[in-house]
Chain A
Amino acid sequence: MTRNRLLVSAIILALLQIGFLSWIMASRAAVLRNGQEVLLKVEPVDPRDLLRGDYVSLGYDISTMPVKMIVNRPSGAAVTEGGPIWVRVEKGADGFWQPTSASLGTAFATSPAEGQVDVRGTVLSGWSLDQEETIHVDYGIDRFYLPEGEGRAIEQDMRVRSFGILAAVAEDGTLQIKGLMDGNRMLFSEPLY
């Protein structure tokens, strides 16, 4: 009895953990499959993670957001409260997507026009809300993981010419990296699984 109970616990436990992991994978793959694509301009920042290995750190043009673009800037507040921010982006002449406006704390009341898409980021507390200032937005896509040893070379190249990140936008606005672009050439593209 005890023996069987332990065996059953072990099987349920293993299935629970595997199921949980598969669920994360499936939800991420769904974003890649169905999400609207946006191309974002990046510059490199520096690498290596203890658990997940080599990566290229990425900084995005759209991470620097002028306070002027915030449509619902709270009157009276001098600095930001930490929390979500929605940024409306549209495709520029050079192919890279650029922000047009932002909504702090809540999603936009209006839906995006044709050729625009809303992406969701996070803003930390304490950024100045002065008209002339900019705030930093974190989109959770500032790392690109690479096979061991390949990170440095790509970072070197990034310093001399502009690279892009092709990202997919989930329904709730979350961005997910789809591929790394060198000009018009796709360097790495991500399979669904």
Chain B
Amino acid sequence: MTGYSSRVNRDIARWVEKGLIDAATGEALVGDVAANESRVFSFGSVLAIMAALLLGAAILLLVATNWEDIPRLVRVAGLFAIILGGYVGGAVVKARGQDAIAEGLWLVAAAAFGGSIALIGQMYHLSGDESSAMLTWCFGTVLAAVALRSNPLTVAAAAIGVAWLAIVGLDDGNFRYNLNTYPIIAVVVWLASYWTQSRVARHIILLSLVLYACFLAVHHDVTATGIALALLSSALFALAAVLPAPVEALTRLGGTLPVHVLIGFLAGLALVQAEQIDHAGRLVLAALVVFAGIATALYLAGRDSRALRTIAYIGFGLELCFVYVVTIGTMLGTAGFFLASGIVLGIIAIVIIRVERRIRNRLTNQAGAA
């Protein structure tokens, strides 16, 4: 990654300056870093995907206008032609080695498939079918991703799945759709993501499962769902901490499973606290669990993961603000609570400082020993 290579180059320059390594070795190392740098960011590829997304949005909106100047059958035929041309054209371009353009064409074809579903719904006035239309679109896109072994199409399928979840979850007036279809979508996209090597899709699925749990909570029992989410997250965290290698081999998330489950843990306790807002005792208990959980997560996994530290600090900050803002009872009670929580926070702060110092010392010792 670019961030890594620039950091390592700075370090190499410093070692050469200090005389730890000679200039020739330094140059060799810089050359090796440059040669092995993965080409994660290519401006052209990014622009191609962005262009494809814009074209896809244009297709969807053009269908939505129900524009009478283009006869219906012409619209249908046009969309079918885009589906065929996009998939096949992309395959041809891919064979010539222009991967980014191919992925862009495939995305446009997937958008045209979604547009066609919408157009048919419009033509035959199929109402109340957003749910099944989105599901059909999602599974059609998964199929395309698998057939073409496409990473961006897998991400697109995950995104459509999340959009379905959001629409169904927010459809609060009538609980006519079954939210529990979502785990099926998640499993299907997750399995497809191994074949298409799409780590991003797996990240999206994990984050969306937290959202799914939140919707479940709203539709059923907030506190119970929140506690279940927090417990499940803690169990997964423990598993990832005890058996990092097998867990990584199974999830292939680049070692970020702890970050995801920390988000799940914090979301679960946020649900609990949102519902128990009038019960000072339970609120204090939940806040203490949050602080303890964050401290444990930092202790077990904070050293190796900057993302985990960031989430931990944000969670800590939000919890602090929440506790500060919410506990308004009598003035005396509030003052007492602030005093107590201040002491607890202070103790945890000291613990965290110690943990971080120990991590630093261990790193320094290792550097000295090497």
**Nearest chain B CB to A169 CB, angstrom units:** 14
- A33 to B140 alpha-carbon distance, docked (Å): 29
Say yes or no for B242: interface residue by CB 8 A criterion: no
Q: Is the interface of B mostly helix, strand, loop or mixed?
A: helix
Say yes or no for A91: interface residue by CB 8 A criterion: no
* B-side contacts of A28, CB under 8 Å: 120, 123-124, 126
- A22 to B43 alpha-carbon distance, docked (Å): 38
* A-side contacts of B288, CB under 8 Å: none
Q: Kindly report which residue of chain B lies nearest to residue A188, judged by CB atoms.
A: B125
* B-side contacts of A32, CB under 8 Å: 124
* A-side contacts of B125, CB under 8 Å: 55, 141, 143-145, 176-177, 190
B120 touches A10 (CB 8 A): no
**Nearest chain B CB to A43 CB, angstrom units:** 15
Q: Kindly report which residue of chain B lies nearest to residue A28, judged by CB atoms.
A: B124
* A-side contacts of B91, CB under 8 Å: 6-7, 9-11
Interface size of A by Cβ–Cβ distance < 8 Å?
Answer: 44
B144 touches A51 (CB 8 A): no
Say yes or no for B367: interface residue by CB 8 A criterion: no
Stretch at the interface among A12-20, A63-71, A73-81, A96-104: A12-20
B120 touches A146 (CB 8 A): no
Q: Is the interface of A mostly helix, strand, loop or mixed?
A: mixed
- A5 to B155 alpha-carbon distance, docked (Å): 23
Q: Kindly report which residue of chain B lies nearest to residue A51, judged by CB atoms.
A: B118
Say yes or no for B321: interface residue by CB 8 A criterion: no
**Nearest chain A CB to B255 CB, angstrom units:** 31
- A176 to B92 alpha-carbon distance, docked (Å): 41
**Nearest chain B CB to A123 CB, angstrom units:** 11
Q: What sequence of 0s and 1s flags, for each residue 53-94 of chain B, a beta carbon within 8 Å of any chain A beta carbon?
A: 000000010011111100011001000100110111011101
Can you identify 27 A-B contacts, CB atoms within 8 angstroms?
A3-B95, A6-B91, A6-B95, A6-B148, A7-B92, A12-B147, A13-B87, A14-B84, A14-B87, A17-B143, A21-B113, A21-B117, A50-B64, A51-B63, A51-B130, A52-B119, A52-B122, A55-B127, A140-B126, A140-B128, A141-B125, A145-B121, A145-B125, A190-B125, A191-B72, A193-B72, A193-B76
B-side interface residues toward A, CB under 8 Å? Answer: 60, 63-68, 72-73, 76, 80, 83-84, 86-88, 90-92, 94-95, 109, 113-114, 116-130, 133, 140, 143-144, 147-149, 174, 176
7 closest A-B pairs by CB? A53-B64, A10-B91, A143-B127, A177-B125, A51-B118, A3-B95, A14-B87
